[in-house]
Structure 1
Amino acid sequence: MTKISEAKLTKGKIIPQLIKLTLPMILGMLGMVIFNLTDTYFIGKLGANQLAALSFTFPVVLIINSFTQGIGIGTTSIISKYIGARKNNKVKKIATDSLILGLIISVLVFILGSLTIRPLFSILGASGVILNYIEEYMTIWYFGSFMVVIPMIGNNIIRSLGDTKIPGLIMGLSALINVILDPMLIFGYGPLPILGIKGAAIATVLARAITTLTAISILYFRENIIYFSKFKLKDTFKSWKQIIYIGIPNSLVQMALPLSSAIITKILATYGPNVVAGFGVATKIEFFAMSFIMALNSVIGPFIGQNLGSKLFKRVNKGLKFGELFSLITGFILAIILSTFAKNIAALFNQNPEVIKTVTSYLLIVSFTYGLQGILKIDSTILNVLNKPIQAALLIFSQTFLIYLPLALVGSHLIGVSGIFIALSISYLISGFLAHLIVQKNFNLYKKNSLKKVS
């Protein structure tokens, strides 16, 4: 069993340690992106209508995932600081109560989601046969929502302990199972029937079921971190209050992207289903590209949290600077690669000229601000650990609703589809610089207040 009191992330050389933590998560993140790209690839073989249907589901699935991820990150922020402060009982209590909260969330998602499929996606602009395909897919996805929610929270708990290998393996295992099951269930290999887009949804649920069992087993048997002895509802409510204080604003932060994506999808729907399909492909390629930066983002929170809990402020500052520099360098490399091979990458998913044109335009314009997008995400995570979730939420909402969407409406009117993508780049450019300044200010203030308490 892992000794929680060790607070492993408070010792050792910082940059090698962060790289060591990030590498398994890169594989895990790539696995999850491959998971999504596999669905996109095989559903794209069914036709443009099925691909457009999947693109319509993407913002809604992201909103649910984002809410869950917000709860997970809130849990990580609290647990990592308790580990740094050597408060082991509180670590176990928060971990257990966060999983109970996740179970409640998954039940609500199933009930509310199943009842609102057709009206919700009609509002987003779907109609006719595309709406039918969406209903086939989301009916199954909502049924298996428990398998999406629990491992997200579980993996965040494991990462907060300083273990990134297991979460990386869990995510990679999920992707592998999905890669195997997708073509079998979509196209009906051997004795299996041809299920089409339903098959992709079933493959997703089955793959997630394996990862759910794995994550729960690790937390219960190896880490011994889940326990229900001396259970008191009053204490559980206190835990939920702590989690929700950071988790809800952070969930709103996480939701900003899919919410804006839903609005942009509705705008793009006026240009036709092929443009919507192209946008869906482009955003999934972006998820693949950004997985390197997001892998670091997934470990920077536990690292900062454990060191804040131990009041090791020099380590916090060095970790913060490394995260931002890593994002800028990685973002630049990605931009060069994607802008050079944009058309070839787009053609892998669909041969429709309009789909390829949309994907290519997106990658040529947006990829050069990936570094600043990464800084925005990393610094938002750090703000949550610094117990400033409201500022993190305001930062992301400003990027999305005060800069991106207004400029996208103007850009769409003046330039067309490219104008929407230019607006996104401008929003990342401005908000990335703002994020850097805000985090520096709040870290210095946190450090000053902590030193005052000690003296």
Structure 2
Amino acid sequence: MSDVGVAEIPVDEEERPVPPQPQPVKSRLLDGPILRTLLSLAWPNVIGLSAGTCVVIAETSYIGRLGVEALAAMALVFPCVILMMTMSGGAMGGAVASAIARALGAGDRDRAGTLASHALLIGIMFGLVFMLGMLIFGPTVLEMLGGRGDVLTHAIAYTQVFFGGAVLPWLLNTMAGVLRGTGNMKLPSLLMLNSAACQIILGGTLGLGLGPVPQFGMRGVAAGALIAYTLNIGVMGWYLFSGRARVVPKLLGLRVQWAMFFDILKVGAIACFSPLQSVLTISILTHMLAKFGTAILAGYGIGARLEFLLTSIAFSIGIASVPMIGMAIGANRIARARRIAWTAGIAAFFALGAPACLVAIFPDLWVNIFTDNATVRAASHQYLSTVAPFYSFFGLATAMYFSSQGAAKVLGPVLAQTARLIYISVCGWFLSTHAATAQSFFWLAASSMVVLGVLSCSSVVLTRWGPRDAKPEIRPALSAAD
């Protein structure tokens, strides 16, 4: 037998130990029952986000005591505040959680720690951008939104303080994203409760001037929020850097790696367009309904408050799916990742649909909280009976958005939001030029939610989540001599 063509293997190469490869972590997020695990992660978020709703209600209450101008100023600033909070918490926070979860799913804790450090840098940079942008251009933006006189003065006062500390909410939501990426939903939610309590107490005290504290007005309300954020950053930072979390951010000797920034920003930068488009969509629809008078606009506003409340439920379910899907993607378990996405979508669909349909049938359960004006009540009944049954599609779209974040494939749901924006703009323009009634615009709002839900689901179906199939290796044909 000929030895030609047989390569000899040196003994030292044969006996050289193979370096250990990272192994996927074993946890309930990767191996536990999907629905039970998803709900166990979601319920703390529901409580935490409900606390945020309480802050909005409380702030509206005590700002009202500062006068009608202050209340109008808060309404003027509110879209800017919501835009920053949803970008930092939902869009970029979800991207951070996704990157951390994918690294842990692949068993690479060192990478997860490095990603956490880069995430903090991203949070600081985005916070500085919001700070400089609102301090320089904020007064002009508020004036473009309709601010005049004392209303504009109050709005600028709030903006200067709150956005002067914009780094704080960005840093807080980035830390929360790191913890959520490890599957820890309880601590961020507990701190949201703590933050809500501090905001209500401090904002009310500084804003109204309770006891020996002088009245700082809108500046005091903004300062109360920033102090609450600072306290919670201290607690969350201590937890992260003390080693109690599964991921410890690496700061000493950190070398900036653009690949780490890209891993987060390839999801987060695109995802930031979703809240931006959502705010723009609401603004366009509000502008179109304003021509029908105060009663219709107020009725729409009452319905929009219900949408805001129910969206927090969809957010809770969606953000809970991010670490589950991220870890499954990191461990290359694509089929499980997709099952998690559809489970989250169905759960969000019914979680929003059930209470929304109840309110559509019995609208006074919700309307009576806000008004006893007969005209406004009639407009609210009309809006809720038309639109509320379709909130379930909005919940479905929200779940698909966060699931796609977990898979690092968020472009599809963002384009679905773009399609909804175009749909409302074009159809709204058509209705406006054909003397349509307010009811027609309510149907436009309802149908746009169906469009958003269907397109978001379609994007998940059509987008490849796993690695592309490798091409088979082409081997040369054996010759007869071989």
Asked if these proteins are the same fold (TM beyond 0.5), I'd say yes
| Alignment-derived partner of residue 465 in structure 2 | 446
Q: Secondary structure at the match of 1:202?
A: helix
Partner Cα separation in structure 1 for residue 207 and residue 378 of structure 2: 27
* C-alpha RMSD over aligned residues: 2.9
Which of the two has higher C-alpha Rg?
Answer: 2
Alignment map for 1:315-330 (pairs within 5 Å): 315-330=336-351
Q: Secondary structure at the match of 2:214?
A: coil
1:170 to 171, 181, 191: 191
1:232 to 249, 255, 279: 255
Aligned-pair distance for 1:97? Answer: 0.6
| Alignment-derived partner of residue 55 in structure 1 | 75
Opposite residue 449 of structure 1, the aligned amino acid is: R
Aligned-pair distance for 1:339? Answer: 3.2
Partner Cα separation in structure 2 for residue 259 and residue 100 of structure 1: 28
Aligned-pair distance for 1:33? Answer: 2.0
Of 13-22 and 284-293, more deviation after overlay is shown by: 284-293
1:30 to 50, 54, 70: 50
Partner Cα separation in structure 1 for residue 277 and residue 73 of structure 2: 21
Of 365-374 and 165-174, more deviation after overlay is shown by: 365-374
Aligned-pair distance for 1:91? Answer: 0.5
Alignment map for 1:201-350 (pairs within 5 Å): 201-221=222-242, 222-223=244-245, 225-233=248-256, 235=257, 237-267=258-288, 282-339=303-360, 342-343=363-364, 345-346=366-367, 348-349=369-370
Q: Secondary structure at the match of 1:215?
A: helix
Aligned-pair distance for 1:316? Answer: 2.3
Aligned-pair distance for 1:321? Answer: 2.4
Task: Report the identity percentage.
Answer: 20
| Alignment-derived partner of residue 478 in structure 2 | none
Aligned-pair distance for 1:251? Answer: 0.7
Does the 8 Å contact 2:318/2:403 carry over to 1?
Answer: no
Does the 8 Å contact 1:52/1:276 carry over to 2?
Answer: no
Opposite residue 63 of structure 2, the aligned amino acid is: I
Alignment map for 1:85-164 (pairs within 5 Å): 85-164=106-185
Does the 8 Å contact 1:274/1:354 carry over to 2?
Answer: yes
Does the 8 Å contact 2:288/2:428 carry over to 1?
Answer: no
Q: Name stretches of at least 5 consecutive residues in structure 1 with no aligned partner.
A: none
C-alpha change, 1:238 and 1:318, in structure 2 (3 Å) is closer
Does the 8 Å contact 1:408/1:419 carry over to 2?
Answer: no
Does the 8 Å contact 1:124/1:263 carry over to 2?
Answer: no
| Alignment-derived partner of residue 401 in structure 2 | 380
C-alpha change, 1:14 and 1:389, in structure 2 (3 Å) is closer
Does the 8 Å contact 2:94/2:177 carry over to 1?
Answer: yes
Partner Cα separation in structure 1 for residue 207 and residue 375 of structure 2: 25
Partner Cα separation in structure 1 for residue 138 and residue 299 of structure 2: 23
Q: Secondary structure at the match of 2:260?
A: helix
> How many residues in Structure 1 have an aligned counterpart in Structure 2?
446
Aligned-pair distance for 1:162? Answer: 0.9
Opposite residue 173 of structure 1, the aligned amino acid is: N
2:444 to 417, 423, 433: 423
Opposite residue 25 of structure 1, the aligned amino acid is: N
Partner Cα separation in structure 2 for residue 440 and residue 304 of structure 1: 15
Does the 8 Å contact 1:95/1:225 carry over to 2?
Answer: yes
| Alignment-derived partner of residue 59 in structure 2 | 39
Partner Cα separation in structure 2 for residue 377 and residue 312 of structure 1: 23
| Alignment-derived partner of residue 454 in structure 2 | 433
Opposite residue 118 of structure 2, the aligned amino acid is: D
Partner Cα separation in structure 1 for residue 436 and residue 325 of structure 2: 43
Q: Secondary structure at the match of 1:230?
A: coil
> For residues 45-93 of structure 1, what are the alpha-carbon distances to aligned partners after superposition, in whole Å with 9 as ceiling and x for unaligned?
5555433322222222222223323222222222211111101111011
| Alignment-derived partner of residue 82 in structure 1 | 103
Q: Name stretches of at least 5 consecutive residues in structure 2 with no aligned partner.
A: 1-22, 473-482
Partner Cα separation in structure 2 for residue 114 and residue 278 of structure 1: 34
| Alignment-derived partner of residue 31 in structure 2 | 11
Opposite residue 398 of structure 2, the aligned amino acid is: K
Opposite residue 84 of structure 2, the aligned amino acid is: I
Partner Cα separation in structure 1 for residue 193 and residue 24 of structure 2: 25
Aligned-pair distance for 1:336? Answer: 3.0
Higher RCO (CA < 8 A, seq sep 6+): 1
Q: Secondary structure at the match of 2:403?
A: helix
| Alignment-derived partner of residue 72 in structure 1 | 93
Aligned-pair distance for 1:14? Answer: 1.5
C-alpha change, 1:232 and 1:353, in structure 2 (3 Å) is farther
| Alignment-derived partner of residue 399 in structure 1 | 420
Aligned-pair distance for 1:211? Answer: 2.1
> Is the helix fraction higher in 1 or 2?
1
Q: Secondary structure at the match of 2:465?
A: helix
Does the 8 Å contact 2:413/2:459 carry over to 1?
Answer: no
> For residues 356-388 of structure 1, what are the alpha-carbon distances to aligned partners after superposition, in whole Å with 9 as ceiling and x for unaligned?
666555544432221100111111222233332
Does the 8 Å contact 2:207/2:216 carry over to 1?
Answer: yes
Opposite residue 162 of structure 1, the aligned amino acid is: G
